[in-house]
Each structure stands twice: as C-alpha cells, then as structure tokens.
Amino acid sequence: MAELLVVGSVALDTVETPFGNAQEVLGGSATFFSYSASFFTPVRLVATVGQDFPEPHVKLLRDRGVDVGGLHVASGRTFRWTGAYGYDLNEAKTLDTQLNVFADFRPALDDTQSRTPYLFLANIDPELQLDVLRQMRTRPRLVALDTMNFWIKGKREPLLRVLREVDVVTINDGEARQLAEEPNLVKAARKIAALGPRTVVVKRGEYGALLLDDGGFFVVPAYPLEAIFDPTGAGDTFAGGFMGYLAFRDQTDAATVRRAMVYGSVMASFTVEDFSLNRLTRLDAREIDQRYAEFEVLMRLERG
C-alpha cells in the first residue's frame, strides 16, 4: 500500500438536474477524488478554500482518513460552481463560476507531500500542474493528470509540456477529440499517447471508459443504473477509484491497470446515485466489492 497525493479544487457546488437540485454542496475535483481514493489507500490533499468553508466538510474528509494538512484556508470566499443538466445528463451547462480564492491558488508542497509515490494532478491550470510536478523531490512511481476543454483551448502549450511528463491522462471523449484535433476516438487516443502519457483513459459518461496502454485497448462499460441522479464528480470519483486502487496495490502492470479501470467505474457508479458526495458517505467496502463482482458478471465472456 502506497500513499497518494492529489492537487486540485475544493468547491461549493450548486447543481440542478431534472430530478432535483442542491445548493452550495461539497464539490470540487480534489474532493471527489480524495474521498473516492480513501476507500483504497491513504490520501493527501492539497487545495485551497476560503474562510467561509464549512468545518463539517473538512471533518467529512478527515473522518475518511484523508490527510487535509494541505488544505489551505485563504482569506476570501471558497470557489463556487453552478451548473445544470438536461435529461440526457451527459454534459453540464455551467451557469456560473466564481473562482474566488481558487484564482490565487499556488500549491506549495511540504517535504512529505513532495515524496508521495502516487500523484494525481486534478483539473487545474496546466502551468500549476507542471509547477507541482517540479516540486516533487522524488519522481513519483505514477503521475496522472486530468484536464478539460478550457485548458485545451486556452493553455495548449503548457498543457502539452506537462503531458510529456506524466504517465496517465484521464480525459472526456469530447475533450480527447479536441486535444488530438481528431474526430475518430481511437486515433485520438493514439495521438494523445504519442504526446507523452503511456496510458490514456477516456471517460465516456453513460458509456463507460476506454483505456489505451501497452496492453492495447480495454473497454469498461458503465454500470447499468436504473436511475442516474447527478453526474457531477463522476469523472473525478472514477479517477479516485482508479488511482486509489493502483496505489493500494502499488503495481501498474497491465492487468492491475484494468482492474483499476473497473474500480474507477464502480466508484463513479455510486457517486451519480445522489447529489454531491452523499452516496459515497453512505458507502462501505462490502458494497464496493459487491459492485465490482457485478462488473465482472457484466463483462464476463467464457471460452466456448
């Protein structure tokens, strides 16, 4: 079992879906990631919040064993995001973004953090991602990075620079096409791999996830849910399960990476069943094992 460091955002989300709405609930990439990964391995979180950030949210993370020593409280208000989903639930429409203290986020790692063997650079400015990577005193055994259309469009050069130095990239299908400038997803994944990361994980929402690595392509379906309540955080929860399992096993061979893909999908399937981290806070290890076993059945092909 090895430690896992995540650098990203902690936010207060206001979300509207066809099934209800939630006001100023706990969100952010580093939040979903660290909470999800904490079911597998010890996690250290580096992020910033404002003075208005509710203490119970910090307690929630701490109670799951997340090391919140790197959660900096800055003077000002916490990052806020407001989004809405239509019936297809595939893409959030951002209604409002207030960066607040997140605008001045300059992650500074302490000695312990800078020697963490597994690192996840959540979806933040690629210049900050590169800066975090530079602060690592020992090269992590595995570095993964997530990004989005905003950085692909606005910070392409720094993004390409940090991509050259990471092992894994997790990215949405539309964003993969945008980054590679290639409409065919298979070609796009290969082009992204040629940019540096030896492992490309394409998140496809209700269609699951696609992996490209030395072992070739691997596809994990999404869990067949009868009700998807709120997809916010699904991608970061996926990444948390994925990286959490790899750090727990402290192995990154092809077979372990495939199992990590399934654990990522398992965790994401729980997150979307309720708003915010609500479903995850009611989750136990037995349910994770059970759903993993259901994924095995969903994918099982016996030889004839």
Given the rule CB under 8 A, which residues bind its own copies? 87, 183-187, 204, 207-208, 210, 215-219, 221, 224-228, 249, 255-256, 258-259, 262, 295-302, 304
Nearer to its own copies, 150 or 217 (CB): 217
Residue closer to its own copies, measured from CB, 285 or 301: 301
Cβ proximity of 193 and 237 under 8 Å: no
Compute the distance between CA of residue 268 and CA of residue 88 in angstroms, rounded to an integer: 17
Residues 6+ apart with CB under 8 A from 57: 10, 26
Q: For the sheet containing 168-172, what is the strand order?
A: 67-74, 43-50, 4-7, 118-121, 142-146, 168-172, 199-203, 209-213, 216-220
> Cβ of residue 180: shortest distance to its own copies, in angstroms?
12
Considering the complex, what minimum distance in angstroms separates the CB of residue 203 from its own copies? 13
Nearer to its own copies, 106 or 286 (CB): 286
- DSSP category for residue 252: -
Q: Is the dihedral of CA 287, 120, 208, 94 positive or negative?
A: positive
**Nearer Cβ to its own copies (120/245):** 245
CB of 216 to its own copies, least distance (A): 6
User: Measured from the CB atom, is 159 or 169 closer to its own copies?
Assistant: 169
Which lies closer to its own copies via its Cβ, residue 95 or residue 219?
219
Residue spans of alpha helices (H) in 91-148: 126-135
Task: Quote the crossing angle between the two packed helices 173-180 and 185-194, to the nearest 10°.
Answer: 60
CB of 143 closer than 8 Å to CB of 133: yes
Nearer to its own copies among residue 74 and residue 185 (C-beta): 185
Q: Where are the alpha helices (H) located in 209-303, listed in sequence order? A: 234-249, 254-271, 278-281, 285-299
Residue 130 DSSP label: H
Residue 146 CB, shortest distance to its own copies, in Å, is 22
What does the CA dihedral 58, 63, 66, 70 come to, rounded to 10 degrees?
A: 30
The minimum distance between CB 90 and its own copies, in angstroms, equals: 12
Q: How far is the CB of 32 from its own copies (least distance, A)?
A: 23
Angle between helices 254-271 and 234-249 (to 10 degrees): 140
| Shortest distance (Å) from residue 215 CB to its own copies | 8
CA-CA distance, 283 to 141, in Å (whole number)? 29
Give the residue with the Cβ less far from its own copies, 56 or 183: 183
